[in-house]
Structure 1
Amino acid sequence: MPKKKTNWLFYGAAIPLTIFAAGVVSSFWWVWASAAPSSFNSQVRLTISEGMPTQVIGQELEDAGVIRSSLALRLWLQWQSLRSSQNIALRSGTYDFRTNQSLQQVVEQIQTAQSTEVRFTIPEGWSIVQMAQLFEERKFFPAQDFILATQRTSPRRDWLPKDIPTLEGFLFPDTYQILPSEATPDRIIDLMLDRFEQVALKTYQENQSGIPKVKISLKDWVTLASIVEKEAVIESERRIISGVFWNRLRKNMRLESDPTVEFGLNIRQTPENPLTLEQVRTDSPYNTYLNEGLPLGAIASVGLASLKATLDPAPTDYLFFVARFDGSHVFSRTLEEHERALQIIDKQIRQKEQ
């Protein structure tokens, strides 16, 4: 009986002591793990890619000597998540870290997006000229330097069509990150061509390798899709607009698309200042009122939605459409219906002007 009592006394004392010792060791470990890896102010540049798992980010930071423990990083983020009752994420970007930063300082730098990179966004439907103006405004380089660089189509990529006049249409619209020191026309073009290859070219190849709804070359696909991009404002109309253009091409009808005239003349019409008859009759290799078939090349950057709509046009017997200038269109099957729609819209515009 006394022996049992001795055992209980032993365990009663040992368990608290073990817990206490574990707590002390954990505290010492945390002080060590969250401290700066070095007292030297060395710089380490690392890129955190979009969607990179926290475990991978932590391991790369540890391997690079930015933090002492990837486990400590995960524990700190979990603690932050519990305190804020929401998931704490680390933002993508390229960062210049210092090896004398604590774990908390490293995390704060990433969470507040103190990235070394700069970001820029190219919207769907922008032309090379608009991109060039943005880069000049952001003080990357002169607009003309970018325009000239986009005229050098070879050697760029093996998959690029050989007969394109410029890279118009092949610079994929998206948000990009780049180091200021690397922001040159050619480097930005490479980024945008890479994105086109990853997103658009993959879509095209997968579609055309099977039994496609429409058979079309890469150049013609991008060219036609760029016209769809400029014409379509409302998502529900995108495939219908594509269907109208495909119907007109099959019937050997001119596309008669206003954006092709605007692109050829480097102008932009508005409800108050629509295209004039003289402008529509001005010859250019992009004018689809004067020239049959597709224009010389694309007229804008093309988003994935318009690219897909061009490969999957809506089954329709429409041959005409006219914009209401609110983003929507009136679709018609005959020239007579189309002319009536034009008259109604012209009347509505005149009434608004009064």
Structure 2
Amino acid sequence: MRAGPGRRLLRWLGGTALALAVLAGLGAWQAQRIYRAPGPLAAPAQLVIPRGGADRIAALLAEAGVIRDPRAFLAAAWWSQAAGPLRAAEFAFPPGASLAEVLDILRTARPVQRRLTIPEGLTARQILALVEAAEGLAGPVALPAEGSILPQTYAYQWGDDRVTLLRRAEVAMTAALTEAWAERAEGLPLASPREALILASIVERETAVAAERPRIAAVFLNRLKRNMPLQSDPTVAYAAAEGGVLERRLSRADLELDSPFNTYRNRGLPPAPIAAPGLASLRAVLRPAESDELYFVADGSGGHAFARTLEEHNRNVARWREVERKRAENPQPVAR
């Protein structure tokens, strides 16, 4: 009887032990090929990996198109388990990521860094709404104290606590205010960092022109020195909106509001900030421009016209009212 193919292979390989070794090597080679082969992902993807074990992760990765076969993923995860556990977080996966790359990402990669930007000049209510709407943050959070949050961009990861993020923003404001106060100019009519924070919030709401902030701060500081009312429209708007944002123009009745935030009726600073000032406004208040100006009014170009005397200021006001009159007569078409 002639020997079959299997017997001929065994004889050619020199025995059963050597045959098994070669066949095992072929299996290992195939496993390595699958392990290193490019995956099916066509475009970069971010995926939140939940807790719950390798089976759940494998199903999620397959559903998202990151891997082809959950069974191959589970086998590879078991085979490479000495490299470390699979983590629950949000990860970014590149196109064509192999099983080896996917597992390395799950074990060692830095989770996706999300960012939340808190703009300058927002009220506490606006900041709360922004934080509550931020995707990926978790947990309830209370309304922060007005002016306690430093406007800037904060990095966070999926699942981070909202309270923790706001606490970071409060610590950042405390540090920024402490540093700015330590570098303040001499002779300012401000008794504490708290007073500087209040005035900075007013400056923040008065202008969006960065170059104007030190000059506007100087006007208010000059008025404080002379015991003149600040007469700041944003403080009245804050009072009229009861701590919110006024969605209409100020009226004459608003200027008569009986509120400690009405700086037309009350001299000195209001009792609390009216918004969250940024670093530039804090520094402007504590290192103001050298100026003896006491007045400013909008100039129609997005900035302000400044004056030292009431007569000069009244002329600037008249020019501003003429600008408003012409705008009312010739409204700009709404872009569509």
TM-score relative to the length of structure 2: 0.63
Quote the Cα distance in structure 2 between the aligned partners of 1:321 and 1:224: 16
* Structure 1: gaps (5+ residues): 1-30, 47-93, 151-166
Alpha-carbon distance, 1:129 to partner: 1.1
Of 284, 303, 312, the match for 1:337: 312
Alpha-carbon distance, 1:261 to partner: 0.8
Of 194, 197, 200, the match for 2:174: 197
Residue 251 (structure 2) aligns with: 276
Distance of aligned partners of 1:238 and 1:291 in 2 relative to their CA distance in 1, 3 Å threshold: same
* Structure 2: gaps (5+ residues): 1-31, 37-75, 94-98, 330-336
Residue 132 (structure 1) aligns with: 128
Quote the Cα distance in structure 2 between the aligned partners of 1:325 and 1:142: 45
How do residues 310-329 of structure 1 correspond to structure 2 at under 5 angstroms?
310-324=285-299, 326-329=301-304
**Contact 1:257–1:289 (8 Å) recurs in 2:** yes
Alpha-carbon distance, 1:228 to partner: 0.9
Distance of aligned partners of 1:142 and 1:104 in 2 relative to their CA distance in 1, 3 Å threshold: closer
Residue 52 (structure 1) aligns with: none
**SS of the residue 1:338 aligns to:** helix
Quote the Cα distance in structure 2 between the aligned partners of 1:329 and 1:243: 14
Alpha-carbon distance, 1:200 to partner: 3.0
Quote the Cα distance in structure 1 between the aligned partners of 2:245 and 2:305: 21
Quote the Cα distance in structure 2 between the aligned partners of 1:198 and 1:292: 29
C-alpha distance after superposition, 1:229-278 (max 9, x if no partner)? 111221221111011001100000000000101111226568xx531100
Percent identity for Structure 1 against Structure 2: 33
TM-score relative to the length of structure 1: 0.60
Distance of aligned partners of 1:181 and 1:106 in 2 relative to their CA distance in 1, 3 Å threshold: closer
Residue 161 (structure 2) aligns with: 183
**SS of the residue 1:239 aligns to:** helix
Quote the Cα distance in structure 2 between the aligned partners of 1:179 and 1:276: 45
The amino acid of 1:288's aligned partner reads T
Q: Does 1:347 align with 2:325?
A: no
Quote the Cα distance in structure 1 between the aligned partners of 2:139 and 2:88: 28
Quote the Cα distance in structure 2 between the aligned partners of 1:220 and 1:130: 22
Quote the Cα distance in structure 2 between the aligned partners of 1:196 and 1:223: 13
Q: Does 1:39 align with 2:80?
A: yes
Distance of aligned partners of 1:340 and 1:269 in 2 relative to their CA distance in 1, 3 Å threshold: farther
Distance of aligned partners of 1:294 and 1:269 in 2 relative to their CA distance in 1, 3 Å threshold: same
**SS of the residue 1:287 aligns to:** coil
Alpha-carbon distance, 1:193 to partner: 1.2
Quote the Cα distance in structure 2 between the aligned partners of 1:268 and 1:340: 30
How do residues 12-31 of structure 1 correspond to structure 2 at under 5 angstroms?
none
Quote the Cα distance in structure 2 between the aligned partners of 1:317 and 1:247: 7
Distance of aligned partners of 1:341 and 1:142 in 2 relative to their CA distance in 1, 3 Å threshold: farther
Stretch of structure 1 that moved more, 219-228 or 229-238: 229-238
C-alpha distance after superposition, 1:88-147 (max 9, x if no partner)? xxxxxx8699xx75399649x96xx961x542110011111111222333365799x532
**SS of the residue 2:296 aligns to:** strand
Pair member with larger Rg: 2
Quote the Cα distance in structure 2 between the aligned partners of 1:268 and 1:219: 22
Q: CA RMSD in A?
A: 3.4
**Contact 1:225–1:306 (8 Å) recurs in 2:** yes
Q: Does 1:217 align with 2:216?
A: no
Alpha-carbon distance, 1:289 to partner: 0.7
**SS of the residue 1:168 aligns to:** coil
Quote the Cα distance in structure 2 between the aligned partners of 1:229 and 1:248: 17
Residue 215 (structure 2) aligns with: 240
Alpha-carbon distance, 1:181 to partner: 2.9
Residue 226 (structure 2) aligns with: 251
Quote the Cα distance in structure 2 between the aligned partners of 1:188 and 1:333: 44
**Contact 1:172–1:302 (8 Å) recurs in 2:** yes
